[in-house]
Amino acid sequence: MKRLLTSIATLISLLQITSAQLTTTPNGGNKKTVVQERVGLTDVAIDYSRPGVKGREGKIWGGLVPYGFTDLGFGTSKAAPWRAGANENTTLTFSTDVTINGKALPAGKYGFFIAVGKEESIFIFSKNNAAWGSFFYDDKQDALRVTVKQQQLAQPVEWLKYEFINQTANTATIALMWEKWMFPFTVEVDVNKPQLAIFRNELKSDKGFESKAWVQAAAWCADNNTNLEEASQWAEYAINGKYVGEKNFSTLSTKARIVSLMGNATAADSLVKDAITLGNINEIDGYARQLLAAKKTKAAAEVLRANYKKFPNQFTTNMGMTRALSTEANYKQALKYANAALVQAPDAGNKTNVQSMIEKLKTSVDIN
């Protein structure tokens, strides 16, 4: 009995020491949130708490948020920046290497701090991502610093927020907005390197059991004029790979695009001729459109003529001849084919489009 009572007393003591905290609203009413977007093929996540202005307009910058580096009166740091949010560290996570305002930053998770200035501020990406606030900030753990000029906002922001703005295929501006100031910085990623790594891995999987996968990878390289040597091997495997390869318009024309970009026009011409014998009217026309978009007008005109020869006097090929002749400034002949296409237009939208082309050709304007 005595042993049982001792055990109960010990258990009660342990429970008192390790008692769990009950779930409540965030400290100070600050809102906890995560925003995440993909830039190119890079996942970017921002984890932060959102303080409110709460009637302190004009007292945030240089007041609640001190300028520069300050002694907060607690912790080991005697020169601490602002935590760029509230409560725990604001953190930024990048799934691949990035550049911040043109400066390299490796993939990883970083604590984010700002030494706020009156006109420009220092953004700090710290290797310490697990702190609470900046009380123990140590500049020896800085992974990157960049200096940024903050901007005035047209409309005040009550609750601090981060947004992704001004996005392109491989860049995005991340903007911290609060009260009447915005702190923007640009994240840029390398799309090609991770995309090629994905292709290499997936082509070794069951996805690589079909020629379409090899064509897709090779065509992407042609579209971006990159990694052409390896892309040529991928295209060749799509044609002749054991159990996978097949000769069709898609495989041959993709190989043709790549060898053309590599400077072998003779091999490209031979592949295109073989491809045309296997292609349907829309495949051939689509390939010619790719050539036109790449400003290879002479090659495009040859393909469009070959398509007309194989599928004469149809809407698609009449339109093709219109485009081919227009690239050669032979507007009178182009009008002949455009008028034939107008009669064959399959719907009102196409008819309107052809009519617009006819008006341009009448004034000797290239329609391409």
The structure tokens listed for 180 are: 């009447």
Beta strands 108-115 and 120-126: pairing type? antiparallel
Q: Which CATH number is 192-362's, of 1.25.40.10, 3.60.21.10, 1.10.287.610, 2.60.120.380?
A: 1.25.40.10
**C-alpha of 324 from chain center:** 35
Residue 304 amino acid letter = L
- Distance between CA atoms of residues 306 and 313, nearest Å: 12
318: nearest Cα among 303, 329, 302, 307 = 307
pLDDT digits (tens, 9 = 90+) for 109-148: 999 999 999 999 999 999 999 988 899 999 999 999 999 9
Q: What pLDDT is recorded for position 15?
A: 41
User: Does residue 17 carry a pLDDT above 60?
Assistant: no
Taking the model in full, what pTM does it have?
0.73
The structure tokens listed for 74 are: 């607690």
Q: Are 319 and 337 in contact (CB under 8 A)?
A: yes
39: nearest Cα among 91, 84, 85, 93 = 93
Percent of the chain surpassing pLDDT 90:
88
Going from N- to C-terminal start, the domains of the chain cover: 25-189, 192-362
DSSP string, 152-163: EEEEEEEEEEEE
Tokens 């708490």 correspond to 49
Q: Are 44 and 93 in contact (CB under 8 A)?
A: yes
Percent of the chain surpassing pLDDT 70:
92
Task: Determine the average pLDDT of the residues in 326-339.
Answer: 95
CA atoms within a 13 Å half-sphere pointing along the CA-CB vector of 290 = 20
Q: Are 42 and 94 in contact (CB under 8 A)?
A: yes
Q: Are 246 and 277 in contact (CB under 8 A)?
A: no
Q: What pLDDT is recorded for position 13?
A: 45
pLDDT digits (tens, 9 = 90+) for 66-97: 999 999 999 999 999 999 999 989 999 999 99
The structure tokens listed for 281 are: 């009217």
Beta strands 108-115 and 90-94: pairing type? antiparallel
Phi, psi of 364 (to 5 degrees): 60, 45
User: Does residue 306 carry a pLDDT above 90?
Assistant: yes
Element (H, E) at 259: helix 249-261
* E strands, 10-119, in order: 31-39, 42-50, 90-94, 98-100, 103-105, 108-115
Task: Determine the average pLDDT of the residues in 156-175.
Answer: 96
